Amino acid sequence: MFVRVGGIPHHVAVAGEGPVVVLSAGLGLGWFDWDPVVPLLTPYRTVVRFDRPGHGLSAPAGAPPTAAGEARRITGILDALGLGDRPATVVGHSVAGFHAEAYARLHPGRTTGIVLVDSSVEERAVAPAVPALRTAAARAVGGALGALGVPAAFGPPVRRLAVRVSRTGGGDPAPAELIRAVYGTTRVLRGALLENAHYTAVAAELLALRERRPLPPGAPVTVLAATAGGRRWTARQRDLALTLDARFRAIGPSGHLMMLDRPDAVARAVLESGPPPPGGGAGSGRGQEDRA
């Protein structure tokens, strides 16, 4: 289905029943990249997946991304679905980890938990000067590559390669027709370029939010780190967990696309961030570490 938020049609998928969970994927990814996780959650949770502008099937972005803007996007989607009165666990993968944390800080009353899935980490980001130039450059590059037919020719195989190298095993499980429909378009290329161009600005905005907007008290935070990232990456993820007073888990074997390599670990963390499933005793809490 599609819902309009900020004047832009957003593609949204909703399934299951129970407390609300929002799944947001990383740069250039789509709603279907959560497919292995969803059936593990839907018996116990109402699962909301959405494509950010220029991603998946959503319309192109009208403006560059910001941390606050992405937090508002999540609230807008939940409101449009009639779920605004139900606090949610927000799950952010990669760059969407910035968005999930910003949502929790800006909308604490609407947050029951946060799960960061191999989230982007920037300890000392500084907002770049003249962001309008970055926007113009991203749009110019996207337009030029689109005019040359690059997305149609190379988008799908680049997607397949990116998924393969971001996993510890296996290829891209998404159907070929879906990959062509999404990654063969200039719209998705432009969306990824625009988000990438403003990555540092969003990171810097989040660091500023940490100084003045605390995380909601009592809402569990979990940081999941893919072991394939190496020791230095795992250490940075552990430091992020300490910064957020969060539970930390090193997940292996797993590459960056943990939702494909270890959907069980992602689902477990989500279920522990809210009421336990019937017959289950999933715990939650901060300042803990374990491995899976």
pLDDT tens digits, 268-292: 999 998 777 666 544 434 434 555 5
Q: pTM score, two decimals?
A: 0.94
Which pLDDT score is estimated for 62?
Answer: 86
Distance CA 80, CA 90 (A): 17
pLDDT digits (tens, 9 = 90+) for 4-59: 999 999 999 999 999 999 999 999 999 999 999 999 999 999 999 999 999 999 99
Q: What are phi and psi of 126, to 5 degrees?
A: -125, 130
How many whole angstroms separate alpha carbon 232 and alpha carbon 33?
Answer: 26
For residues 39 and 23, give the distance between their C-alpha atoms in angstroms, rounded to a whole number: 13
